[in-house]
Amino acid sequence: MPELPEVETVVRGLRQPLVGRRVEHVWYEREKVIAIPGAEDFAARIVGQTFQAITRRAKYIVCQMDHDVFGVHLRMTGRLYVAVESPADDRWVRLRLGLDNGESLHFSDARRFGRVYLAPDVTAFTQGIGPEPLDDDFTAEVFAERLRGRHRQIKALLLDQSIIAGVGNIYADESLFLAQIHPLRTADTLTGDEMSRLHEAVRHVLNQGIDHEGASVNWYRKPDGERGDSQEHFNVYDRSGQPCLRCGTAVLKIRVTQRGTHFCPNCQREK
Ligand SMILES: [Zn+2]
């Protein structure tokens, strides 16, 4: 699933082709792709509105239109790109916004879990989501405060969008490796030093992920169709059985809250 770095890369790639363009028509395959409002309302309201700015909130692409916010969540297999027509090998276009220059914004989604949203305010679909980890005011103190006293596995907490926004399976594993913390440790056992190492690690791996334009491990592609190369820089994720890059011990894979979790049993001790 695309995480913060992948969604941020999509946002950056869409600004140039979309900002300033007006929506002229809407096509969708099934009504279900439109989460809010109803499909007819969606089409009637978005037509005539111009893309003013494109930002990100957690794993949502957030487009400020004239009167509304148009949001997209890519879920497992969603892709967004702007083109006159979708390429012949893309059989998964679920929604299209026709633009005033003859191009269209295509929302392609093989598994059909992705959704679009249209609302006057972004909080209509992002309520309850935790702070943005790359914001300046997301300090080590803020992070520690959100984890304090929680008797839950740290890996599960990092994946919980109400605790911290945008972190998913890949960057959670990479953060815990960098901070040298075992994924099954509960937050209430972490020392102050470990908390601040983890805070630093989360920000570092997300920034690195953005610099590498996201991880194309499966469906994710940039809006220009190219792959990101974050996957070339993983330290533990998807490296089960391979030697730890820090100490040479074989990387292990376990399951934490149903998610495959990679760590070095030597560098990340359970204690
Ligand atoms: Zn190691």
Write the CATH number of the domain with boundaries 4-126.
3.20.190.10
Q: How far is the CA of 10 from the centre of ligand 1 (A)?
A: 33
Tokens, residue 195: 């908390």
Sign for the CA dihedral angle at 181, 154, 204, 5 comes to: positive
Q: How far is the CA of 267 from the centre of ligand 1 (A)?
A: 4
- Indicate if 3 belongs to the active site: yes
Q: How far is the CA of 271 from the centre of ligand 1 (A)?
A: 15
Q: Which of 45, 59, 96, 197 is catalytic?
A: 59
- Indicate if 59 belongs to the active site: yes
Give the pLDDT confidence score for residue 23 in this predicted structure. Answer: 98
CA distance linking residue 125 with residue 78, whole number of Å = 17
Sign for the CA dihedral angle at 82, 86, 90, 95 comes to: positive
Sign for the CA dihedral angle at 86, 87, 88, 92 comes to: negative
Q: How far is the CA of 154 from the centre of ligand 1 (A)?
A: 19
CA distance linking residue 236 with residue 73, whole number of Å = 27
Give the pLDDT confidence score for residue 191 in this predicted structure. Answer: 96
Given a cut of 90, whether residue 60 has pLDDT beyond it is yes
Give the pLDDT confidence score for residue 255 in this predicted structure. Answer: 96
Model confidence pLDDT, tens digit, residues 63-112 = 999 999 999 999 999 999 999 999 999 999 999 999 999 999 999 999 99
Q: How far is the CA of 246 from the centre of ligand 1 (A)?
A: 5
Model confidence pLDDT, tens digit, residues 192-202 = 999 999 999 99
Between the CA of residue 172 and those of 17, 18, 67, 91, 235, what are the distances in Å?
32, 31, 36, 32, 12
Percentage helix, strand, coil, to 5, in the chain?
30, 25, 45
CB 17 within 8 A of CB 82: yes
241, β-bridge pairs: none
Tokens, residue 267: 């560098």
Q: Which of 112, 194, 259, 265 is catalytic?
A: 259
Q: Which of 2, 5, 17, 223 is catalytic?
A: 2
Q: Give exposure, 237-255, as e/b (b: 16+ Cβ within 10 Å).
A: bbbeeeebeeeeeebbeee
Give the pLDDT confidence score for residue 44 in this predicted structure. Answer: 97
Q: How far is the CA of 270 from the centre of ligand 1 (A)?
A: 13
CATH 1.10.8.50 residue ranges in the chain?
Answer: 140-263
Name 84's Cβ contacts closer than 8 Å, sequence gap at least 6: 102, 103, 104
What is the three-state SS of 42-93? HHHHHCCCECCEEEEECCEEEEECCCCEEEEECCCCEEEEEECCCCCCCCCE
CB 115 within 8 A of CB 68: no
Q: How far is the CA of 238 from the centre of ligand 1 (A)?
A: 15
Between the CA of residue 190 and those of 187, 234, 242, what are the distances in Å?
5, 24, 27
Give the pLDDT confidence score for residue 218 in this predicted structure. Answer: 83
Model confidence pLDDT, tens digit, residues 224-261 = 999 999 999 999 999 999 999 999 999 999 999 999 99
Helix/strand/coil for 250: strand
CA distance linking residue 117 with residue 107, whole number of Å = 13
Question: Which of the four pLDDT bands, split at 50, 70 and 90, describes residue 271?
Answer: confident
Average pLDDT, the chain: 97
Pick among 1.10.490.20, 3.40.50.2000, 2.160.10.10, 1.10.8.50: CATH of 140-263: 1.10.8.50
Sign for the CA dihedral angle at 236, 242, 245, 247 comes to: positive
Q: Which of 3, 6, 8, 213 is catalytic?
A: 3
Model confidence pLDDT, tens digit, residues 167-198 = 999 999 999 999 999 999 999 999 999 999 99
Q: How far is the CA of 247 from the centre of ligand 1 (A)?
A: 4
CATH 3.20.190.10 residue ranges in the chain?
Answer: 4-126
Q: How far is the CA of 177 from the centre of ligand 1 (A)?
A: 8
